[in-house]
Amino acid sequence: MKIENLPFNTIDWAALIPERKPGETGWADWRVVQFGPIRVRMLEYSPGYKADHWCSKGHILLCLKGELHTELADGRVFVLKPGMSYQVADQAEPHRSWTTPGATLFVVD
């Protein structure tokens, strides 16, 4: 990743109004800041959230709170707990996520 034309700044994530997106079950609150081609998000998944789609977008994702299960299209499942992360390239491995207790995530894509 090459980061250009991005002056230093801070983000007060709590001050951003979230956009609520429904899942197959539960919901996800997205707080988003866009820096040219780089999207940075703070996501809060409700307890019982399950994504309603397979995602092929690349991400760098850090679990801050809760627990996140991510399934790849080949059937493998990975569990992230606070302090754990995953990274995947665009169009590399379709994935979808769910959580039982809820989760808070920091994502760059």
Q: Hey, what domains does the chain have and what are their CATH numbers?
A: 19-108 (2.60.120.10)
Per residue of the chain (109 residues), give pLDDT as tens: 678 888 899 999 999 999 999 999 999 999 999 998 899 999 999 999 999 999 999 999 999 999 999 999 999 999 999 999 999 999 999 999 999 999 999 999 9
Our measurement of the distance from residue 53's CA atom to the centroid of its chain's CA atoms, rounded to an integer in Å, reads 13
Rg of the chain over all Cα atoms, to the nearest angstrom: 14
Q: Is the pTM of this model over 0.85?
A: yes
Put the strands of the sheet holding 68-72 in their side by side order: 77-80, 68-72, 95-98
| The one-letter amino acid at 102 | G
